[in-house]
Structures are given as structure tokens and as C-alpha cells.
Amino acid sequence: MSFQTTRLVAGLATVAAATALATGCGSSNSNNTSSAAAPAGTAPAPSSSLASEVPAAIKSKGTLKVAADATYAPNEFIGKNGKTVEGMDADLAKAIATTLGLKADVVNATFDSIIPGLAAHKYDLGMSSFTDTKEREKTVDFVTYFSAGTSFYEKASGGPPITDLSSLCGVTVAVEKGTTQADDATAQSKKCTGGKSVKVLTFPDQNGANLAITSGRAQVGMADSPVADYQVKQSGAQFKVVGTPYGTAPYGIAIPKDLGMDKPILDAVKALMANGQYKSILQKWGIADGAITSPVINGAVS
């Protein structure tokens, strides 16, 4: 993306549990699984007309295996029981599955493994704050369902004066591996002059990136705006958002190209928007500002 926004690939996970900054996030151990937490409000009813769109192979399984990197609250994170994947994406996954007459099994996976896992049919869907990009559309299809940008965050005191990407020159930045934030910071470094490049530290999950900031290894972090805002609120005044968010772009539900689930997922999202469940779920997690009204298949803007 030109301004590849959000996690766009990944994002600010719950502020590392090891630093006691986050209240709801745990390990990113990919063995953690769950059925998504129940959405706010009345649960959606299965739709016989939408269920008829589901391919026979999926219908016979009865369950959609949904991958999420559960280090990115409030969008996806490990609950207090240490194993259940919770958050906006988990709730939406369950609502979508129910609407299609299916169940959702939300499993925790490292972010950069999800799209390859979809291509290999290890998972049926990827719902992990993925930004729908043209590059990713070469491997998977997307159904758009949310809109977000990237924000910068740092320690509440003593951090560098970050205003935008150009002010990262000469700064050490912590990001999650495989995210567009990592791409953006690396691309910016090539534009820096006077020997002041951006030192980009990448980590397997967002908790590692957060810990790098709290420990002083990095000065600035980058994450999707709703996630950065949430983490700052949960950090006990240890973090603050700085600068101006950039690169608003759509999140997409990632789907293997040959699964035959593009239209069923799109129609299920539209149904949840029409019956109010979509908005109810976003309101539950305090991110209704990112709601969209016209989901599409493969809606990448760059």
C-alpha cells in the first residue's frame, strides 16, 4: 500500500502481559482455541437462504476454522481464562458462522502464518485485523468489514516528538513481523537523509513490540488506530498516542481463493449490518467509529 495502514497486518497487541500493561491479553501460543465469545445483543438466527450458499464441503464440516493473532486487543486477544480468543473479530466470526448455519472455531496463530495457512487450507478464514491490500489479494480474497488507520504510540514521558512517518528518521521503532507498519517504517527509512535512518525492530507478536518500548529498546510503536487507542487506555498511563494517524484503509476477512466462501461471507456480513448485530458488536468493543456500510469482495485501495 502507498499508505499501508493498519495491521494492515498486525498491530498493537494487548500491552504485554509480562509488563502488566494489558488486562485481557495472554500468550500468542497457537494452540489456544475457542469458539468466539457471544456477541453483544440478541444472537443472530441462522438464515436458510444464506446457509444454502455454503459449499457442500464446508456445510458437511459444520464449522469454520478461523485464524486470529490474539495479541491485538480489542480486536482479538486471549481472555482471562488463558485460552479463549475474544474480541471484535471473534464475535463477528461467531455471528457470521451462525448466520450461515455453522459454528466458528477461532484459533490463535502468529500473524504472518495466517495467509500462508489459508492458502494451504489449514484455516477456512482469517479474521485478524487484516488490511485488504492488492498484494494480499494475489494470495487470498477479502470481504471488507471495517475501516482503520495507523497510529504512533510511545512512553507517556520522555519519548521523541513524533508527528508523522517522516519524523521517524533517527528513531528506533518496534513493530510486529509481517505487518504493513513494518513495511511503512522500512520504506520511510530509505527516504531519510543525513544518516538518520529508521531502526526497525520486528517481533513475532505485538506483545514483544510493546515490551520493547516499555523496556527502552525501542522509542516508538505503530499499530492500527483503534488498537493503539485501546492499549493506551489499558496501559495505566504508561503509554500515549502521538502524532497524526495516517492511511485509512479497509480491514478484510481473508478467504482461500478456491473455497467458494466469498459470496456467503459477504452476504452474511450484509445481513449482520441489516439486523443491527454488526453495529452492536463494534459498540461492545468501543470501536464503532470504524464501521462501514458497504462491504465488498476485494476492496483494496492500494
Residue range 111-170, pLDDT digits in tens: 999 999 999 999 999 999 999 999 999 999 999 999 999 999 999 988 999 999 999 999
What are the boundaries of each domain within the chain? 17-148+250-290, 150-247
Confidence category of residue 10, pLDDT binned at 50, 70, 90: very low
The answer to whether the beta carbons of residues 132 and 265 sit under 8 Å apart is no
Side-chain-side CA neighbours of residue 168 (13 Å): 31
- Give the C-alpha distances (Å, rounded to integers) separating 226 from 56, 104, 238: 37, 24, 17
Of the options 3.40.190.170, 3.40.190.10, 3.20.20.190, 2.40.10.10, the CATH number for the domain spanning 150-247: 3.40.190.10
Output the pLDDT for position 27: 30
Do the bridges between strand 85-86 and strand 76-78 make them parallel or antiparallel, or are there none, so unpaired? antiparallel
| Dist. CA 70–CA 44, nearest whole Å | 24
Do the bridges between strand 172-176 and strand 103-108 make them parallel or antiparallel, or are there none, so unpaired? unpaired
Output the pLDDT for position 42: 52
The answer to whether the beta carbons of residues 220 and 152 sit under 8 Å apart is yes
Provide the b/e sequence for 179-217 (b: ≥16 CB within 10 Å).
Answer: bbbbbbbeebbeeeeeeebbebbbbbbbbbbbbbbbeee
Q: Is 158 left (phi over 0), alpha (psi -120 to 50) or beta?
A: left
Q: Beta-strand (E) ranges in the chain?
A: 33-35, 63-68, 71-72, 76-78, 85-86, 103-108, 125-126, 140-155, 172-176, 199-203, 220-224, 239-256
Domains 17-148+250-290 and 150-247 share a fold: yes
pLDDT tens-digit map of 193-231: 999 999 999 998 888 988 999 999 999 999 999 888 887
Output the pLDDT for position 1: 29
Q: What percent of the chain has pLDDT over 70?
A: 85
The one-letter code for the residue type at 144 is T
35 burial level (CB within 10 Å; 0-12, 13-18, 19+): middle
3-state helix, strand, coil in the chain (%, to 5): 30, 25, 45
Q: What is the DSSP letter of 290?
A: G
Output the pLDDT for position 253: 98
Residue 49 has pLDDT above 80, yes or no: yes
| Dist. CA 293–CA 190, nearest whole Å | 37
What CATH number does the domain located at 17-148+250-290 have? 3.40.190.10
Q: Beta-strand (E) ranges in 85-236?
A: 85-86, 103-108, 125-126, 140-155, 172-176, 199-203, 220-224
Name the nearest CA neighbour of 143 among 273, 287, 10, 300.
300
Output the pLDDT for position 111: 93
Q: What are phi and psi of 70, to 5 degrees?
A: -80, 55
